[in-house]
């Protein structure tokens, strides 16, 4: 049994960590921080957790208490983990960061996209990008994990088999993605209001989104060089979910694409390659740490279309963070993550 802390426990990814860890047989949540809700019981703010965390209360961030944990999750806005991660690592506590603080290897690129200097550039070389389907062995040895973003998770998993096999033109990739409103966080924002987001869909960040350099970095690793990517995210009127429709141009006869995907993910517990001709739905992964994928070749043309769906709060955030924790501490990879999706 290990003890973990959660910094920033009142947001959507924080409460999702609590929900999933409530079923984890090897983990005890020892500390959860929130400056705004310090002193409030977790079950008071989130009544769905009554009976699981009745004694746990939000507290001010206390480095001494957090350092007594075996691992600390940061479910915080960017920039917060910069200030605390180094101290925790020096004290022997492992860090799993759900923000974007350590995802990009280049501190200058990070500063360009996030509008401020990187606060801990000395840790970037040590940080391991926590996509288990790519970096499983590195995650097992890591002290600092950068949990991938939600869009980057769906897009990378969808393109991965094609790029690794060199079957598509890496200079002309297209990712057309849709997200539920929880992707914008729990903070009050006018575009997230029911009257603003309901019965409507819109694109945003078409000329440049913060996840773009992260996706390019991961796809470039798979392709063995830089990639050209057009990435357009959309806000859709649903609470949670990511749907990524991915387009690539085949560079030759690809053979059996269905078999390619099935073989690549055959041993991955959290990637489900659907039967040929399938169209995965976001509701089929709601609440589950799972990416469902289908591959199509319309009209037997030179275009391949990949459909990938995830829950942005689970496989796109908190579930993936717990998967990394399981690998780091030698637990069963599926511990705390084996619940099926919720339908309807």
> Is the CA virtual torsion 16, 84, 106, 327 positive or negative?
negative
DSSP state of 41: B
Distances (CA, A) of 343 to 122, 227, 275, 287: 45, 37, 20, 9
CB atoms within 10 A of CB 101: 28
Q: Which two tokens stand for residue 258?
A: 């269905």
Cα 177 vs. chain centroid, distance in angstroms? 15
Nearest to 147 by CA among 230, 63, 85, 224: 85
User: Checking DSSP bridges between strand 291-296 and strand 303-310, what pairing results, if any?
Assistant: antiparallel
CB atoms within 10 A of CB 271: 21
Distances (CA, A) of 331 to 1, 96, 191: 10, 16, 40
Query: Which of 69, 150, 177, 291 is an active site residue?
Result: 150
Angle of helix 211-223 relative to helix 132-141, nearest 10 degrees, comes to: 90
State yes or no: is 150 an active-site residue.
yes
Indicate the helix (H) or strand (E) that contains 160: helix 150-164
CA–CA separation, 307 vs 45, rounded Å? 36
Q: Are 219 and 163 within 8 A, CB to CB?
A: yes
Active site residues: 150
């Amino acid at each position: 049994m290990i003890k973990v802390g959660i910094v920033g426990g009142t947001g959507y990814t924080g409460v999702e960590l609590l929900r999933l860890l409530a079923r984890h047989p090897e983990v005890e949540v020892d500390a959860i921080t929130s400056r705004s809700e310090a002193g409030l019981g977790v079950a008071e703010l989130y009544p769905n957790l009554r009976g699981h965390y009745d004694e746990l209360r939000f507290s001010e961030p206390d480095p001494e208490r957090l350092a007594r944990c075996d691992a600390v999750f940061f479910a915080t806005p960017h920039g917060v983990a910069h200030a605390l991660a180094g101290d925790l690592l020096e004290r022997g506590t492992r860090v799993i960061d759900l923000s974007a603080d350590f995802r990009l290897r280049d501190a200058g690129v990070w500063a360009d996209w996030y509008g401020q200097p990187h606060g801990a550039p000395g840790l970037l070389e040590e940080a391991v990008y926590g996509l288990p389907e790519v970096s499983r062995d590195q995650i097992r040895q890591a002290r600092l994990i950068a949990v991938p973003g939600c869009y980057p998770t769906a897009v990378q998993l969808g393109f991965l088999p094609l790029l690794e096999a060199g079957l598509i033109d890496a200079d002309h990739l297209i990712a057309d993605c849709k997200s539920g409103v929880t992707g914008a966080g729990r903070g009050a924002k006018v575009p997230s209001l029911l009257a603003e987001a309901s019965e409507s869909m819109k694109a945003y960040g078409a000329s440049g989104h913060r996840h773009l350099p992260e996706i390019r970095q991961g796809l470039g690793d798979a392709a063995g060089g830089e990639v050209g990517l057009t990435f357009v995210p959309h806000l859709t009127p649903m609470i949670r979910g990511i749907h990524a429709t991915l387009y690539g141009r085949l560079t030759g006869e690809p053979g059996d694409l269905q078999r390619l995907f099935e073989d690549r993910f055959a041993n991955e517990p959290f990637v489900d390659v659907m039967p040929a001709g399938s169209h995965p739905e976001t509701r089929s992964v709601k609440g589950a740490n799972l990416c469902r994928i289908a591959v199509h070749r319309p009209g037997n043309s030179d275009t391949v279309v990949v459909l990938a769906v995830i829950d942005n709060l689970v496989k796109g955030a908190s579930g993936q963070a717990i998967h990394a924790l399981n690998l780091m501490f030698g637990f069963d990879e599926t511990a705390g993550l084996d619940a099926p999706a919720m339908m309807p």
